[in-house]
Amino acid sequence: MIISGEEEKIVQTTGIKDVSEKARGVVLIYNNFSSAPQRLDIDTRLEGSNGKIYKTEKQVVVPGMKDKVPQSVEVGVYAVNAGEEYNSDPLDFTIFGFKGTSKYSKFYARSKGEIAGGFKGKASVISDTEKSSAVNDLKTALQAKLFKKATEQIPNGFVLFKDAIFIKMDENSVDVASFKENMLPVKLKGTLYGFLFNEDKLAKKIAEQNINGYDGSAVYVSNIRDLNFSLPAQAGLSDKDKIMFENVSNIIFNLSGSAKVVWKINDSKLVADLLGKSKDDFNQVLLQHPNIDSADLVISPFWKSSIPGKTKDIKVIVNYSK
């Protein structure tokens, strides 16, 4: 489960100073040249359709074409110089270093949204202390918002352990170019990553590993949400600040606690076994269903001595253990 969100807080400025910020954004770089991947080093220069030069924030590999369809990679970019003139609506880009080669027209980039944040001059600012306090408040609010969204979106039949949720915060700098009077917006973006588990499959796995002679019957764990989830250090996921959760396909995890395993009842088989039987045979029939802890038989009208011979006339009410 991946859920993103944003919180904003307006903070009173504490002064004015010279500010120099470079515009930043995110682009998709496409390979329409060949099926071979293309590595682009950090600080690769991209020329925007506005005539300005921007650089990539990290080294990337642009995937090769698949079935003649261009493939792409996402990367952050920043302006070579500070200033508002580098701010822009979405742009198209060429790779400056490919000029004069056959790759120039076949590799291209397009920005995801605007290029923003560029500024140079005097601007209202807030102190580091005020900013830190505002960001901490935003973290608390954003965590609560993302957790609420996550719990509301858990599909039926799945469990999301509270410790199987990881939230990454992107502490963006104050947008100095968009201040109003003596107030500044402090924005914080974050993404929640959660590992969802199919309850039926997990319950069966718990039974297989912990109950001697388990025969594979349908079971559930009545207190499954009370179990403690953790990622062991040897799983390679202990340093959660550095994990790229969106790319994780397999994990090693621990579940600890006292699991209460409850066998599910096969209602249809029970009804079939009871059809037309004398009420005196009821307990004998129950012996064929070891998953049943106890049961009461109610026949209406009370003077009848046998169980109905039609399925529609029998109702089974199961009180599963909690």
Is residue 319 in some structural domain?
no
Q: Are residues 159 and 225 in the same domain?
A: no
Q: Are residues 280 and 152 in the same domain?
A: no
pTM: 0.60
CB count in 10 Å sphere of residue 39: 9
65: DSSP letter: P
Is residue 38 in some structural domain?
yes
Q: What pLDDT is recorded for position 267?
A: 84
Q: Are residues 218 and 248 in the same domain?
A: yes
Q: Which residue bears the tokens 């621990």?
A: 254
Q: What pLDDT is recorded for position 245?
A: 75
Q: Which domain holds residue 186?
A: 2-11+122-194
Q: Are residues 80 and 126 in the same domain?
A: no
Q: Are residues 27 and 111 in the same domain?
A: yes
DSSP 229-282: EE--GGGT---GGG--GGG------EEES---EEEPP-HHHHHHHHTT-BGGGH
Per-residue pLDDT of the chain (322 residues; tens, 9 = 90+): 999 998 988 888 888 888 888 999 999 999 999 999 999 999 999 999 999 999 999 999 999 999 999 999 999 999 999 999 999 999 999 999 999 999 999 999 999 999 998 988 888 878 888 888 988 999 999 999 999 999 999 999 999 998 999 888 876 545 545 555 677 888 888 899 999 999 999 999 999 999 998 888 888 898 999 999 998 875 555 455 556 677 777 888 999 999 999 888 888 889 999 999 998 999 999 888 887 888 999 998 889 999 999 999 999 988 876 6
Q: Are residues 116 and 126 in the same domain?
A: no
- Residue 148: what are its φ and ψ, rounded to 5°? -65, -45
* Strand ranges for the chain from DSSP E: 2-12, 15-31, 38-40, 45-48, 53-56, 60-62, 71-82, 92-95, 107-111, 119-125, 158-159, 165-170, 183-194, 197-198, 219-221, 228-230, 254-256, 261-263
Side chain identity, residue 267: D
Q: Are residues 66 and 152 in the same domain?
A: no
What is the rounded CA–CA span in Å between residue 95 and residue 38? 12
Is residue 77 in some structural domain?
yes
Write out the two tokens for 64: 């090769």
Q: What pLDDT is recorded for position 265?
A: 84
Q: Are residues 31 and 116 in the same domain?
A: yes
Q: Which of 91, 121, 151 is the last residue of a domain?
A: 121
Q: Exposure of 64 by Cβ count < 10 A (0-12 exposed, 13-18 middle, 19+ buried)? A: middle
Q: What pLDDT is recorded for position 57?
A: 95
Write out the two tokens for 307: 């169980």
Q: Which of 121, 152, 174 is the last residue of a domain?
A: 121
Looking at the 3D structure of the chain, how many domains does it have?
Answer: 4
Asked if residue 119 lies in contact with residue 176, where contact means CB atoms within 8 angstroms, the answer is yes
Q: Exposure of 249 by Cβ count < 10 A (0-12 exposed, 13-18 middle, 19+ buried)? A: exposed
Closest residue by Cα to residue 83 from 119, 123, 121, 124: 119
- The secondary structure element, H or E, covering residue 210 is helix 199-210
Q: What pLDDT is recorded for position 70?
A: 96
Write out the two tokens for 259: 């699991």
